[in-house]
Amino acid sequence: MASDLGVTAGTAGLLVTAFGLAFCIGSPLIAALTDRLDKKHVLVGGLLLFAVANALMARVDAFALAVLLRIVAGLAAAAVSPTAMAIAGTRAPAGSEGRYLAVATAGLTVALFTGVPLGSWAGHTWGWRSTFLLIALVSVVVTALSALMTPRVPGNDPTPLRARLRPVRNWQVLSLVLAMFLCGAGGLTFYNFLGATVEGHLGSSTSAVTWTLLMVGIVGIAAVFGGGALVDARGPRAGRLLIVGGHAIALLAIGLYLVVGGGFGVPFLLLVAAWSLFAWALGPAMQASIIGVDPSSAVLSAALGISGLYGGAGVGAALGGVLIYHLGAVALPLAGSTLVAGAWLLSARRETA
């Protein structure tokens, strides 16, 4: 891809940065600007724009245009994700909010775990342009299904911008968003360098990395729906305390296992599977909690949560790079556990009316 666009591999990496920043920053901004629009229109329009941006990427020849298209795709995703979560969280039958949110957040989880390997496979088989065509085709199908199956959700009545930005001034929302930031930073500090830990620190093979990541993906996708069911059974607060607490403990256990010199094998895989279970059950519990603070501002609240999570993920990637260079792979899960423990303390605060 870099050679086709006439840039270095490092410069080509800016395409990922452009998408991530547009997604993270755009989520709350677009949520505030589209507050009065029908949520179904925002969802379908965002999906269609996402499909078009990816289809055009398959034909781009100039790097500057590629960056612009990745920004457009990031903004489209920023419109879609919080809107889908808000529709799920506010239109679900009483007692089923967690499972509905699990369906809404599952798309991000599936994309995270399957997008990279499928994209790499398609790229190696047919070229990098085929990856974007594949994404565009899938997006068209999802757009059509959303247009047919998503209920109409009228926008809010005209209100001053200050009123629409209520969640930004709500300490309960912001404390939960900060908790999501810390969970994203802690979890991704470890996950971004899981391959390096398996192959470099534990001395295993490339195939072991592949199978480990596949296991994480399978457990993670199942965990999203398990997290939703837990929220419905125990409530958002109890659900998030159990999930965030388990996340911190699992990272600590992995860190201690590496400290004592444990190798690659069943014990390590079981610990990583346990971490995956808690790490990817997080979304439904935290988003149900955030949306529940002020349901009338569900889209903006969900958008803030997404920005917190992905902002934390970006920080976690940078922190992990520093730690593994200076202290080695052992430091990654221990630092991650500390960050997630901070998230648990924030999550433990009770909501007030």
pLDDT band with cut points at 50, 70 and 90 for residue 72: very high
Q: What is the pLDDT of residue 264?
A: 85
DSSP state of 329: T
DSSP state of 201: I
CA distance 139 to 137: 5
Q: What is the pLDDT of residue 353?
A: 46
What is the average pLDDT value for the chain, to the nearest integer?
81
Q: What is the pLDDT of residue 80?
A: 83
pLDDT band with cut points at 50, 70 and 90 for residue 226: confident
The identity of residue 292, as a single letter, is G
Q: What is the pLDDT of residue 110?
A: 56
Tell whether the model's pLDDT for residue 256 goes beyond 90. yes
Nearest to 279 by CA among 233, 229, 239, 224: 224
Nearest to 324 by CA among 184, 204, 194: 194
Mean pLDDT of 13-26: 77
Scan for tokens 């009770």, then name that residue. 350
Nearest to 299 by CA among 104, 71, 54, 95: 104
Give the contacts of 207 (CB within 8 A, at least 6 positions apart). none
Scan for tokens 């994209």, then name that residue. 119
> Quick one: 160 exposed, middle or buried, by C-beta within 10 A (0-12, 13-18, 19+)?
exposed
Q: What is the pLDDT of residue 128?
A: 73
CA distance 210 to 218: 12
Tell whether the model's pLDDT for residue 49 goes beyond 50. yes
Q: What is the pLDDT of residue 199?
A: 78
pTM of structure: 0.78
Tell whether the model's pLDDT for residue 117 goes beyond 80. no
Give the contacts of 314 (CB within 8 A, at least 6 positions apart). 20, 24
Q: Residues 291, 236: contact at Cβ < 8 Å?
A: no
pLDDT in tens, 136-145: 887 888 788 7
Of the chain, the end-to-end C-alpha distance in Å amounts to 52
Degrees to nearest 5, angle at CA 183 with 342 and 201: 100
Q: What is the pLDDT of residue 120?
A: 53
Taking CA atoms, 301 is separated from 29, 53, 82, 86, 136, in Å, by 11, 26, 8, 8, 28
CA distance 69 to 66: 5
**Gyration radius of the chain over CA positions:** 20
pLDDT band with cut points at 50, 70 and 90 for residue 182: very high
Q: Residues 225, 106: contact at Cβ < 8 Å?
A: yes
Q: What is the pLDDT of residue 104?
A: 64
Tell whether the model's pLDDT for residue 20 goes beyond 80. no
* More confident position, 212 or 15: 212
Tell whether the model's pLDDT for residue 251 goes beyond 80. yes
Mean pLDDT of 150-169: 72
Degrees to nearest 5, angle at CA 19 with 14 and 24: 120
Q: What is the pLDDT of residue 2?
A: 64
* More confident position, 62 or 207: 62
CA distance 335 to 313: 14
Q: Which of 75-79, 142-146, 248-252, 275-279 has the highest mean pLDDT?
A: 248-252
The identity of residue 165, as a single letter, is L
* More confident position, 172 or 12: 172
Q: What is the pLDDT of residue 115?
A: 52
Q: How many residues does the chain have?
A: 353
Share of the chain above pLDDT 90, in %: 18
Q: What is the pLDDT of residue 106?
A: 66
* More confident position, 336 or 216: 336
Tokens of 170: 């709500």
Lowest mean pLDDT among 18-32, 101-115, 143-157, 161-175: 101-115
Tokens of 26: 């755009």
Tokens of 245: 């607490």
Mean pLDDT of 24-50: 84
For 116-128, the DSSP string reads HHHHHHHHHHH-H
- State the CATH class of domain 2-150+163-347: mainly alpha
Nearest to 294 by CA among 168, 151, 154, 182: 168
CA distance 25 to 50: 17
